[in-house]
Amino acid sequence: MSFTAPVIEWAGLTPVLIILGAGVIGVLVEAFAPRTARPAVQTLLSLLAVLGAGVALAGRWSIVSADTGRELATGIAEDPFGVAAQGILLVIGLLAILVMADRTTADDGAFAAQAADRPGSAEEAESLHAGWIATEMFPLTLFSLGGMMLFPLADDMITLLVSLELVSLPLYLMAAMARHRRLLSQEAALKYFVLGVFASAFLLMGAAFLYGVSDSVSYTNIASAIAGGGAVGMDWLALAGVALVTIGLLFKTAAAPFHAWSPDVYQGAPTPVTGFMAAGVKATAFLALVRFYYVVGGALGWDLAPFLWAVAILTMLVGTVVGVVQTDVKRMLAYSAIAHAGYMLIGIIAWNGVGVSALLLYALTYGVATVGAFGVITLLRESHDGAPGAEATGLDAFIGLGRRSPWLAGAMTVFLLSFAGIPLTAGFMAKFEVFIAGVVGGATWLVIAAVASSVATAFFYMRLIVLMFFREPDGERVIVVGSMGPTALAIGLAAAATVLIGVLPQAVVGALADAAMLLP
């Protein structure tokens, strides 16, 4: 009996291995390090891991930019598109970890003292009184980030499914770890878990159908089987398989009608986790969908077009109409994210190189602004006789923020203008590139619908800006707590990147265009 050892190019997997290895070390820190030392150790370990992975990834870019890519291991492809996608996710991960690490001047942070304590129990009161700080979210974040980095590199159905679960399972736990409104947080985690499993079931069934067509789980073999006609009379099986896998990924992007989990989870999860989830999961799911659709699904483009057009239009409609009536900022940003998913679908439908580079740019600009916006929310707290309480997420909490904290209001304005696609912000460049890709790809009417949706969504962004700068503060119901440094740094970096990419986009757009040109 012979055994053929798999060929693995470990150098190409170095960035992911650094992140996952740091996650394993983080688990050991939780087990053996003194409780008082864990916050500093976990924060430093996580930041060093992301920075180290970024350095390793920069070295990989110089290698893969000279060719059209290679297979690092079975089901994992490395090419300029994949390296660019990993770089975007590392940027999002760095900003998210900074926001998670900040305990603010209120000295409580966003996470429960001990997640295992039952809400309202004596055990929870003892944990809070002892000043315990939950730190297990750092290794969980690293595990999820490692899965996100593998997701766009997945080149077969098994790797795609495993990466999806690696992304999702840590987030199911993290969503239940809010320090305040614990029951709402746990309810959000349960909803996220149930609907996440539902999404995985769609993807798994689609993979089974595609295996039946091609006798393989490899994207390349599946695409060849579809192009060659597959089994006689089984075209419907290929179409159903591609559609089901697409639906499984659309669940993660929060595209309608697969968006039901999104508003509740955004509202209930700890705000730093919401920012990480909103930016990272949406980015990695769309980038994974790019590889799947452009390699496999594009051969069925005409058959899938009615489905994708309907999903894109419905997503923009739901995100715009329902977002207008929201009174909670986190739910408003959830419906904003749904609308943005509709715009990003244009890059999928376009099926051209411009669409790929546009989606890379959109994932970067939307992700950076999203983490920054949720970072701002973490610093607004309800006032209990002058003492800071839970995060104040109602629209009325932002009334007069321009007077209370001009720099926070200014940063939030930059992020909102970017979401709205106002010129001289990164969001404008991203929307412009996606819309150009749609026109080139023959989806002009869809672009017109997206422009109309963008104009309508600008209303609820501008409404928040008006509340911050053109309304007087209403009493002392809201307190702006100070950052101990990490959140302020994350917000500052996000705002600077949003402005710089909007004003001087050539370098970033050019680099992402080079990545898209060499997509297999």
Q: What pLDDT shows up at residue 115?
A: 79
Can you read off the two tokens belonging to residue 297?
């699904």
410/418 Cα distance (integer angstroms): 12
pLDDT at 262 exceeding the cut of 90: yes
Average pLDDT on 235-246 reads 91
Peptide bond into 80 cis (omega under 30): no
User: How many C-alpha atoms does 478 have within 13 Å on its Cβ side?
Assistant: 23
Q: Are 372 and 411 in contact (CB under 8 A)?
A: yes
Considering only residues 354 and 142, tell me which one the structure prediction assigns the higher pLDDT.
Answer: 142
462/228 Cα distance (integer angstroms): 52
- Gyration radius of the chain's alpha carbons: 22
Q: What pLDDT shows up at residue 431?
A: 96
76/71 Cα distance (integer angstroms): 6
> 3-state class of 400 per DSSP?
coil
Write down the residue that tokens 């990834």 correspond to: 57
User: How many C-alpha atoms does 306 have within 13 Å on its Cβ side?
Assistant: 2
Q: What is the per-residue pLDDT across 34-57, written as a single tens digit (0 to 9) for each?
A: 988 999 999 999 999 999 999 999
Q: What pLDDT shows up at residue 230?
A: 58
Cα→Cα distances 237→204, 251, 306, 435, 494, Å:
14, 21, 17, 32, 45
187/196 Cα distance (integer angstroms): 14
pLDDT band at 97 (very low <50, low <70, confident <90, very high): very high
316/177 Cα distance (integer angstroms): 31
pLDDT band at 233 (very low <50, low <70, confident <90, very high): low
Residue 76 is inside which H or E element, if any? Answer: strand 76-78
Q: What pLDDT shows up at residue 272?
A: 94
pLDDT over 90 percentage in the chain: 67
Average pLDDT on 143-160 reads 94
Can you read off the two tokens belonging to residue 304?
């899938």
Write down the residue that tokens 């800071």 correspond to: 388
Mean of all residue pLDDT scores within the chain:
90
Q: What pLDDT shows up at residue 358?
A: 94
pLDDT at 427 exceeding the cut of 90: yes
Helix 329-350 with 301-324: angle, nearest 10 deg: 160
How many separate helices (H) and strands (E) can be counted in the chain?
Answer: 21, 5
Can you read off the two tokens belonging to residue 90?
């590392």
Closest C-alpha among 482, 480, 474 to residue 392: 480
348/346 Cα distance (integer angstroms): 5
pLDDT band at 232 (very low <50, low <70, confident <90, very high): low
Q: What pLDDT shows up at residue 107?
A: 80
> 3-state class of 298 per DSSP?
helix
Residue 282 is inside which H or E element, if any? Answer: helix 282-295
Q: What pLDDT shows up at residue 1?
A: 60
Q: Are 309 and 444 in contact (CB under 8 A)?
A: no
DSSP annotation string for 477-520: SEEEPPP-SHHHHHHHHHHHHHHHHHHS-HHHHHHHHHHHHT--
Q: Are 287 and 251 in contact (CB under 8 A)?
A: no
pLDDT at 231 exceeding the cut of 60: no
**Could you give the angle at the alpha carbon of 430 between the alpha carbons of 151 and 324, nearest 5°?**
95
> Please, which residues bridge with residue 383 across strands?
388
Buried/exposed code over 374-413 (b: 16+ C-beta within 10 A; e: otherwise): bbbbbbbbbeeeeebeebbbbbebbbbbbebbeebbebbb
Closest C-alpha among 23, 9, 22, 81 to residue 52: 22
The DSSP secondary-structure symbol of 18 reads H
Write down the residue that tokens 């929307």 correspond to: 431
Closest C-alpha among 128, 217, 238 to residue 179: 128
Residue 387 is inside which H or E element, if any? Answer: strand 387-391
Q: What are phi and psi of 170, to 5 degrees?
A: -60, -35
271/266 Cα distance (integer angstroms): 8
Torsion angle of alpha carbons 65, 296, 365, 354, nearest 10°? Answer: 70
Type of residue found at 124: E
Q: What pLDDT shows up at residue 519?
A: 52
pLDDT band at 157 (very low <50, low <70, confident <90, very high): very high
pLDDT at 256 exceeding the cut of 80: yes
pLDDT band at 408 (very low <50, low <70, confident <90, very high): very high
**HEC secondary structure over 144-200:** HHHHHHHHHHECEHHHHHHHHHHHHHHHHHHCCCECCCHHHHHHHHHHHHHHHHHHH
Cα→Cα distances 493→14, 335, 369, 489, 501, Å:
26, 25, 10, 6, 12
Q: What is the per-residue pLDDT across 309-333, written as a single tens digit (0 to 9) for each?
A: 999 999 999 999 999 999 999 999 9
Give domain limits for the chain.
10-517
> 3-state class of 221 per DSSP?
helix
Can you read off the two tokens belonging to residue 135?
């730190």
pLDDT band at 520 (very low <50, low <70, confident <90, very high): very low
Can you read off the two tokens belonging to residue 30?
């939780």
Q: What pLDDT shows up at residue 108?
A: 83
Q: Are 255 and 178 in contact (CB under 8 A)?
A: no
